[in-house]
Chains A and B, each alone.
Chain A
């Protein structure tokens, strides 16, 4: 199902959380809403879900071209997954998943045999079949979130909305679960929007990323495009570490730490290289973080693959040459 929102604004009292947002999502797409906290990404998701009402004067929320802005949350046929799972504490895993089926009006409600069948197939999907009779308090965080997802999927939603779905999990479970989500999406192809503040997560999982800042969508593009061709300084800064060199025209030249190459001597470095001194070396597993100070006292962060670092055999206080490879020029009117 396609989702299109036009000119949505939302304010809480005097503070404007969403400013004239437009967004179009294709059928079967997995889109990440990525942004820092307070950028309005969760509010946008809740407006799409129908949990929040957009301000008067906003445009429509269209599901498959039909305006649903006046339709109740329960009638939009969305599946919503909360950061803190919001599982029904006093119900077993089975009853949690069956809740949406049992809540259907009598005419549409499947009989008990169909409910059993449906819930068991969802339990298989989330690989928790043997935990059907556990209570949410007896599950780990990752298991709880999978149950929450199965519960949302039970009513066969037209769109799946996930609000920081992995935000409360620890790093390993997070990575595992987001790959699982990607695989799940490839199997069921339901249009999915998920909110996250984790760049890595958004870039790894989604088909397209909407980078949000201060109530606006700064860029909506594929992960590769937002990373390689960021629309502005905010997007560039938000997607990773960077060095900022002030250009002659008053603009800024942004360079990722891994886009800087270090040389032992000027001959091999080439004509654009600058001299610098190694001030700090930090080991971080596969990458080594080297801090340089250029002749004009500018601090430069460099990330080297561990192998390259070994080959260079750098020591603190040594004189080296560094050259910038990928540079992005932006006017300097943005701040994080």
Chain B
């Protein structure tokens, strides 16, 4: 909160909390059931991830990312050379998958923020024909299997797809190969060093599939809030002569920032963890692996400890998002409590 700290001026007299059920036994059974369910399906598997990841000790855990190097000046057998070489190659692939996951998220999140804001804005502040249809279309990715979503992209953009001719010849630059070339060739001093051809089986397809499976999150977390806020504050700002942009950045965005962040966190969690859709469009090419795909490959190579180690990183990301989500819940509830206002004395 910017500005002066908000004192909590409201004393809630009639607490709205419902009375507990009369029978304490029922209450205890219900709590026990919930705790048992959570333990079996969430706590135990999560603990298992870390137990397996650490099954070769902390050294084994670290070795997945930084494999031991051959001792300086030692003479090695061919088998030993292969062992060290293999370890280094695996670690490189693992690091690549982490990089891929983070860069896909870095592209997907801003696009979904823009899309989510636009969609929530359109469906809450305007009334038009087909509004309900649009609202349900936004929810579509929740009801479509991710594998099907991936296949849809293959069928659209793949070699025999509807846009296949265009898509397979599309050449697009690798953003990470952008580098400084100086002003010798004109006023624009940057150039791309590498480019990709085609869409399916390239990182672009992974981005597209990730956008598809994650786009409802931001829109869904904004819509109910924006609906309840109405457009009076925006109208007030406009009537005072503020421009559309100023109204958006000074009024709308501050009002929805927590809901937006909440949506972004859910969106990020899903983008990090998506497997099905990404798996279909990645073509099982090592260079296209995201973390979940990398985990599957390690598992299939019977490298269980390494698979669980990468999984533990993903689980840690999940824990971070969970904490962030809880903080936001707590924060927004606090805001609600202070914004109830005082009655006319």
Q: A: which residues have CB within 8 A of B?
A: 49-51, 72-75, 77-80, 82, 84, 86-92, 95, 99-100, 103-104, 133, 135-142, 144, 148, 151-152, 154-155, 169-170, 172-173
A138-B342, A140-B343, A140-B344 known; A103+B232 contact, CB < 8 A: no
B320 at the A interface (CB under 8 A): no
10 pairs of A and B residues whose beta carbons are closest in the complex: A100-B240, A86-B232, A103-B242, A137-B339, A86-B236, A80-B239, A140-B344, A74-B241, A90-B254, A173-B344
Which of these, A103, A137, A170, A173, contacts B341 with CB under 8 Å?
A137
Which residue, of A49, A82, A172, has the highest number of chain B Cβ atoms within 10 A? A82
B240 touches A151 (CB 8 A): yes
The residues of A that contact B243 with a CB separation of less than 8 Å are 74, 103
A141 touches B240 (CB 8 A): no
Which of these, A140, A155, A172, contacts B240 with CB under 8 Å?
A155
A103 touches B235 (CB 8 A): no
B320 to chain A, nearest CB (A): 27
Q: At the interface with chain A, which of B3-11, B69-77, B214-222, B276-284?
A: B3-11
- Distance of A100 Cα from B2 Cα, bound (Å): 20
Scan B240-251; emit 1 where CB is below 8 A from any A CB, else 0: 111100100011
B235 touches A80 (CB 8 A): yes
B131 to chain A, nearest CB (A): 13
- Distance of A118 Cα from B18 Cα, bound (Å): 49
The residues of B that contact A142 with a CB separation of less than 8 Å are 344
B2 touches A138 (CB 8 A): no
Interface residues in B304-345 (C-beta closer than 8 Å to A)? 338-345
B239 touches A138 (CB 8 A): no
- Distance of A176 Cα from B242 Cα, bound (Å): 32
A90-B255, A173-B344 known; A138+B9 contact, CB < 8 A: yes
9 contacts between A and B (CB under 8 A): A78-B239, A82-B236, A89-B255, A100-B240, A133-B4, A137-B6, A140-B341, A144-B341, A151-B240
The residues of B that contact A99 with a CB separation of less than 8 Å are 237, 240, 242, 250
B48 to chain A, nearest CB (A): 45
Interface of B is mostly: loop
B236 touches A80 (CB 8 A): yes
In the complex, the chain A residue whose C-beta lies closest to that of B229 is A89
A82-B232, A139-B342 known; A73+B239 contact, CB < 8 A: yes
B255 touches A138 (CB 8 A): no
In the complex, the chain A residue whose C-beta lies closest to that of B241 is A74
Which of these, A87, A90, A148, contacts B2 with CB under 8 Å?
A90
B345 touches A140 (CB 8 A): yes
- Distance of A90 Cα from B252 Cα, bound (Å): 11
A246 to chain B, nearest CB (A): 45
Q: B: which residues have CB within 8 A of A?
A: 1-4, 6-7, 9, 232-233, 235-243, 246, 250-251, 254-255, 338-345
Which of these, B2, B6, B238, B251, contacts A73 with CB under 8 Å?
B238
B236 touches A137 (CB 8 A): no
The residues of B that contact A87 with a CB separation of less than 8 Å are 233
A241 to chain B, nearest CB (A): 28
A148 to chain B, nearest CB (A): 8
The residues of B that contact A51 with a CB separation of less than 8 Å are 235, 239
In the complex, the chain A residue whose C-beta lies closest to that of B239 is A80
- Distance of A77 Cα from B1 Cα, bound (Å): 32
The residues of A that contact B251 with a CB separation of less than 8 Å are 88
- Distance of A139 Cα from B238 Cα, bound (Å): 24
- Distance of A75 Cα from B6 Cα, bound (Å): 35
- Distance of A72 Cα from B247 Cα, bound (Å): 14
Which of these, A74, A88, A92, A148, contacts B4 with CB under 8 Å?
A92
B103 to chain A, nearest CB (A): 34
The residues of B that contact A79 with a CB separation of less than 8 Å are 239
The residues of B that contact A138 with a CB separation of less than 8 Å are 6-7, 9, 341-342
The residues of B that contact A80 with a CB separation of less than 8 Å are 235-236, 239
The residues of B that contact A92 with a CB separation of less than 8 Å are 3-4
- Interface contacts beyond A89-B339, A103-B242, A133-B4: sample of 9 additional A-B pairs, CB < 8 Å, sorted by A: A88-B237, A89-B233, A100-B241, A100-B242, A103-B246, A140-B344, A141-B341, A148-B236, A151-B240
A155 to chain B, nearest CB (A): 6
- Distance of A243 Cα from B284 Cα, bound (Å): 86
A74 touches B342 (CB 8 A): no
The residues of A that contact B238 with a CB separation of less than 8 Å are 72-74
The residues of B that contact A73 with a CB separation of less than 8 Å are 235, 238-239
In the complex, the chain A residue whose C-beta lies closest to that of B9 is A138
B206 to chain A, nearest CB (A): 38
The residues of B that contact A75 with a CB separation of less than 8 Å are 241
The residues of B that contact A103 with a CB separation of less than 8 Å are 237, 240-243, 246
B338 touches A137 (CB 8 A): yes
B246 to chain A, nearest CB (A): 6
A55 to chain B, nearest CB (A): 16
- Distance of A152 Cα from B338 Cα, bound (Å): 25
B342 touches A140 (CB 8 A): yes
A68 to chain B, nearest CB (A): 13
